[in-house]
Structure formats: structure tokens, C-alpha cells
Amino acid sequence: MFPSDLTRSLDDFFFKRFCQDKWRYCLVEDTVVFIDEGFLDKLTRLLGEGIRLKYDKIKFATRISNKQNLSCKHLFYYTSPPFQSSFTSKDEEIRKKGYDKFISVLSKNRDITIREGRVQKITNEKGEIEYKQKGVDTLLTIDASHIKEDYPLIKKIVLVSSDTDFCPIIKDIKERYGIDVILYSYFDRERKSKFSLSNELLKCCLKYVQLTKEDFTSCPIVKNIDNNKDVVSGNRT
């Protein structure tokens, strides 16, 4: 669980809500959040009108969990290092250096598990170069299949993705353990959009929630005043 203070006070176990002009505490369930960074990288560029939105990963996971009256116990973050060609260019070196720094800082947080796939460079039917994230779906499937062993009290998990490859594992953990999946994703109705969403994926999940720009902008990165660097839960460069 992401602590609100180092002593893990009651704030860790109760969610404060306003009701009938009085504050009261309501017990909420723990959850685990699975984030597909490949999907969010595209989405934050879309919502940022070409400029990727920067946001705090932990604040984001906490926010989308709290919106479902859940408390985020752990974040699984799936990403891939930037593509490196056989003869590495200066730009590729800079990107890799920035990525390594980001991962090094993020990995210091014990509430985050980082899984890394790989990036494949392909040429599409239009002759355009595209970069595809590979292996992430397998890594996420493995972690999800162990969820009952690692987190026996979890009844709901939060998935941030749009990948239909996750349907089998979503169905499996529901049938085996009674664990439901709340899907956070995004889709539009534009023809040949990168953000189409499968009906099969929607049917697999307990609930679908559309991500908004505010979900990211409301989770700003806090700067370290001493050295002007992003804090541990910061953002990729």
C-alpha cells in the first residue's frame, strides 16, 4: 500500500469521504494496478496534442484506484528500453541514457515492480517505420497468474491497457479465484484509430473507465528543491 506517511497511519487503511456534512472513514479494499506503459505513452501524446504529458506514476495509480473506492497496494509497471540499432546513433544513446536513469530512480521505490520487454523496429504497409513493444503481455500475464499467491486478499485489480491479448488471463483469474478486473483505457471513433477498443476486452472486465487528460495533469511530478530533479516516482525523459 502506498503510505501517506512513514508510520503507515490509519490513512493507509481507510478512505476518507464526505457525507451529510460530516467526515467519516469507510473501509476500502486493497488493489494492485497493472500499467502498460506502451499504451500510456501513445495516449499521453494524444491528450497532450503531440507532447507527452508528464505525470507521477504512483499518484496516477493511487488516483485511478481511489476513484473506484480501492486502495493501491502495489504497482506493476511494464515498459521497454528504447530501440538500439546495431550501430547506435547519438540520439539512441541519449534516449537509452535517459531511460536507464529513469528506471534506476523508479526502481528504488519498493511499491513498484518494473518489468521490461523489448522494442522491435518494423516497416508498415505504408513503408513507415514503427516501433512495437514486445514481450510485455507475457510478463503481465505471468504476474497476474500469481496474484492470488502474492496478494491473497485482493478481489479486484486495475488494468491500464487496451490489449486484447490480456483477455485469457482476465477470464482465468476470474474463474479460478473470483478476481475481477477494472479496465482503464481509452478509445475514439475515428477510422483506423490507434485507440480502438475490442468488445471482447470490455466483456472480460467487470468495469470500463475512460481515461481523461485530468487523470494525468492532476498527478504532477514534484521537484526536489535541493537538486531540481524529479522525485522517485517521476517520469521518463
pLDDT tens digits, the chain, 237 residues: what are they? Answer: 454 433 333 344 444 444 444 444 557 899 999 999 999 999 999 999 999 999 999 999 999 999 999 999 999 999 998 888 778 788 888 989 999 999 999 999 999 999 999 887 777 777 777 777 888 999 999 999 999 999 999 999 999 999 999 999 999 999 999 999 999 999 876 656 667 778 889 999 999 999 999 999 999 988 765 555 554 455 554
Domains in the chain: how many in total?
Answer: 1
Instruction: Report yes or no on 125 lying in a domain.
Output: yes
CATH of the domain at 84: 3.40.50
Instruction: Report yes or no on 112 lying in a domain.
Output: yes
Instruction: Report yes or no on 10 lying in a domain.
Output: no
Instruction: Report yes or no on 169 lying in a domain.
Output: no
CA dihedral sign of residues 67, 68, 74, 75? negative
Phi then psi dihedrals of residue 115, to 5 deg: -120, 130
Domain of residue 102 covers: 29-159+175-217
- As given in the structure block, the three cell numbers for residue 44 are 499521453
Instruction: Report yes or no on 106 lying in a domain.
Output: yes
pTM of the complete model? 0.81
What whole-number distance in Å separates Cα of residue 115 and Cα of residue 30?
A: 22
